[in-house]
Amino acid sequence: MTSTASQIRSFIDLRQWAAGATVAPAKGDAFLAARADLPLADGPITAGLILLPWGSGSVSALPGEEFVIVESGTVRIEQADKNFTLTEGDSLLLRDGASFDWSTDADSRILFMRRSGGPAGNGTIIPIDTGAPLEPSGAPLAELLVGPTPQCRNHGDYKSDDGEYMVGTWDSTPYHRRAMAYRHFELMYLLDGSVTFVDEAGEEGTFQKGDIFMVEQGAQCSWDSQVHVKKVYCIYRPA
């Protein structure tokens, strides 16, 4: 389901949305200019699709902190002595002010979630380590749960200086949670398992391993996972 500021806020299948998105010819470097934006409410969060053509380019300074995940293709990112080769499902956190070179051997597609107007960054690039050890983390509120309390674990790769924007990996045993109000935006990439959401309009969506999706800030959604779930997440939760 997709939404605009005037509609019910909900979950969005980003692969499905991106399949129909139109990217205008880039005026400038393609990494910054060859983009299609999701129709989100005005605010510090933008998200959408970057279409990188065969070739290469350079970004002198990224205007915000940005999580990027490769939807298809292969993208190489180089910064000083750091070199990253990203294939489908690989992701990075690019801090505000990051400068880097990129290259591809064929057209490649990236999904992104950018936060603008946050604390000034130091321009570093942080790879998301999905194999990092996970530590026990908090469970959903007991009053929202239908059934047993799950065992949840987390590894954080990045948190902004103000604590509002974060990226990492999380997993959980199965659980069913009643609808709650999302105070945050969350982009998710399922590494394992499946989960079903139902929004306040009764719209239902099930996401499986390999899916990339977002829950909008202001959405009212339930969560039902009948199997172990592991995901990469990017969250913006204002203080």
- pLDDT > 90: what percent of the chain? 95
Do 122 and 161 share a structural domain?
A: no
Pair (147, 49) in one structural domain: no
Domain-embedded: residue 2: no
Range of the domain at 122: 11-127
pLDDT at 8: 86
My answer on whether 38 and 113 are in the same domain is yes
Mean pLDDT of the chain: 95
User: Which one of 65, 95, 127 terminates a domain?
Assistant: 127
pTM of the shown model: 0.95
Average pLDDT over residues 19-34: 94
The pLDDT confidence band at residue 2, using thresholds 50, 70 and 90, is very low
CB-based burial, 53-73: b 16+ in 10 Å, e otherwise: eeeebebeebebbbbbbbbeb
Count up the domains in the chain and report the number. Answer: 2
Residue 37 one-letter amino acid = D
Which whole number is the average pLDDT over 131-137?
A: 98
Kindly state whether residue 207 falls inside one of the protein's structural domains.
yes
1 has pLDDT over 60: no
pLDDT computed for residue 83 by the predictor: 97
